[in-house]
Every structure is written in structure tokens, then in C-alpha cells.
Amino acid sequence: MKMLRFRRNGEAQWGWLVGEAHVTPLRQLDGQPAGEVFPIGDVEVLPPADPSKIVCVGRNYSEHIKEMGNSFGEDLPKEPGLFLKAPNTLAASGAQIAYPSWSSELHYEGELAVVIGQTASKVAQEEALSYVLGYTNALDLTARDKQKTDLQWIRAKSADRFLPLGPLLETEMDPASTVVRTWVNDELRQEAGTEQMIFPVSQVVSYVSSFMTLEPGDVLLTGTPSGVGPLSRGDRVRVEVEGIGAPLEVTIV
């Protein structure tokens, strides 16, 4: 099932994709359709999330750890290294994202994103995926220069519209056996199977829930593969996780 979030007549709501070009709104996030069906062209498609928080894994693919020069000696990280992005970062597919005036090193990081469907507190890894509503494409925009020099990553990671997300949420897929790809101006820059994650999605959900209650609509970013790099004004970025059904596309302006 493919879900999406959209605004119609000023009201943001969740819905299901019907066929390829229609949507039907849901009464509640986990509820049944209200019965109406609209052409997708008649609604504004929003990021498929309604988060109180966005929790991100910073280093989850060993090849990306190497390219960033992070050294763990002979060992990989023993626990997920986390940071937060704030809800102001959300942007929809198709958005134009302004290159920040205060950075000279804006990087793309294509990722698999997880949206939570039920309140999750202290859940076991074996049950963690049952708390997930679905999966979507994410672009974790990062001011790499400020990530290196600021005390914390608030500006580097949480500037306005630094998280394009969507457009669709796939509710039935195995997050451990898909592929994340990122293109810049139609050139493939990142490609990795999610089986390469150091911490699989089930472990990340369980780990975060061990100290922080995850609420419906919250987002987890699962880390980026190797191949990150700088963007310039005018670049078109596309992220597509296999199985989601539609790519995330934005332009840097």
C-alpha cells in the first residue's frame, strides 16, 4: 500500500494512493478511507510525515565512515550515533531549496527514511518493525563546512527545508533488502544495498525507543551510503529507494 500526505482545501491529511493518479483521504492515520477519491493533481502533496522529532543515524554504512575520515580503529561503532533534525527541515518532492548564503559546502546525503505509525517506547528489536507505518525517500541536506566548525550540528543539519522527503510512503517493504540511489543532474552518485547498514532499521527503532518515546508521524533517517558530495545552485537531486514507487526530486537554487 502506498500512502501520502496532502493538503486540500487548506487541510493537511493522510491518504492512500489509488491507482497511479488518485488519492483517497483517511479518517485517521490507521483508519479506513473516507470514501472520496480525488485526482492527485487537485491536491498539494506534502512530505509523508507529521513529526514531533526527526532522529537520524550519522554513521551507518562503513564505506561512508571511511570517506568521512571517521576512525573507529579496527572496530565499527557499537551503538548508533544519533543526531536530530527539527520539523522545520521538511520539504516536499518538487521543492526548490535555497542554497544557504552562510555555507559554501552544501552536501547531498540520500537515505531511506522510516515513518513511525504507533507510539513506540522500549520496544524489542524483534517487534520494532510493527511500529513502522512505512518507508520513503529522504535527502539529508548538510552544510558540511558548518558541521565541522559549529559546536553542534543545528545549523549544519536543521536549517529550513534541509530535509526533502517523499513523495510516497510504502507500507509493505523489507527495509533490510532494498537499494538507496542518489543522482545529481542524472549522474548516479550513491548506490548501496540496505543490507550493508551497520545497524538495521529494526535495531535503530528499538535503540531509539529505549530512551525516547517515538510518536506516530515521527521520522527516522537511517544514514547515508558512501558517495556524498557538494551541490551547486541549479543542481537537480534525485533520491530513489527501490520499492517506494516514485523518486524524490528537488532543485537547488
Q: Between 22 and 155, whose beta carbon lies closer to Mg ion?
A: 155
Q: Between 43 and 65, whose beta carbon lies closer to Mg ion?
A: 65
Under 8 Å between Cβ of 190 and 228? yes
Backbone conformation region of residue 126, classed left if phi is above 0, alpha if psi is from -120 to 50, else beta: alpha
Instruction: Give the number of residues in contact with Mg ion, rule: CB under 5 A.
Output: 3
Closest approach, Cβ 196 to Mg ion, in A, equals: 15
Q: Between 3 and 163, whose beta carbon lies closer to Mg ion?
A: 163
Among 91, 134, 135, 140, binds Mg ion (CB under 5 A): 140
Closest approach, Cβ 100 to Mg ion, in A, equals: 17
Closest approach, Cβ 56 to Mg ion, in A, equals: 6
Stretch that binds Mg ion, among 86-94, 103-111, 123-131, 159-167 (CB under 5 A): 103-111
CA-based angle 88:164:237, to the nearest 5?
Answer: 145
Q: Per CB under 5 A, does 224 bind Mg ion?
A: yes
Q: Per CB under 5 A, does 50 bind Mg ion?
A: no
CA 215 to mean position of chain CA atoms:
16
Backbone conformation region of residue 155, classed left if phi is above 0, alpha if psi is from -120 to 50, else beta: alpha
How far are the Cα atoms of 9, 188, 253 from residue 234, in angstroms, in the given order? 32, 17, 5
What is the Cα–Cα distance from 71 to 140, expressed in whole angstroms? 22
Closest approach, Cβ 29 to Mg ion, in A, equals: 26
Under 8 Å between Cβ of 170 and 135? yes
Q: Between 202 and 224, whose beta carbon lies closer to Mg ion?
A: 224
Q: Classify strands 110-116 and 132-139 as parallel, antiparallel or unpaired.
A: antiparallel
Backbone conformation region of residue 250, classed left if phi is above 0, alpha if psi is from -120 to 50, else beta: beta
Closest approach, Cβ 94 to Mg ion, in A, equals: 21
Q: Between 16 and 207, whose beta carbon lies closer to Mg ion?
A: 207
**175 preceded by cis ω (within 30°)?**
no
Stretch that binds Mg ion, among 16-24, 100-108, 123-131, 220-228 (CB under 5 A): 220-228
Closest approach, Cβ 41 to Mg ion, in A, equals: 32
Q: Per CB under 5 A, does 249 bind Mg ion?
A: no
Q: Per CB under 5 A, does 228 bind Mg ion?
A: no
Q: Per CB under 5 A, does 109 bind Mg ion?
A: yes
Give residue for cell 505509525: 117
Under 8 Å between Cβ of 190 and 107? no
Q: Between 57 and 120, whose beta carbon lies closer to Mg ion?
A: 57
Q: Classify strands 248-252 and 96-97 as parallel, antiparallel or unpaired.
A: parallel
Q: Per CB under 5 A, does 204 bind Mg ion?
A: no
Which positions lie near Mg ion, rule CB under 5 A?
Answer: 109, 140, 224
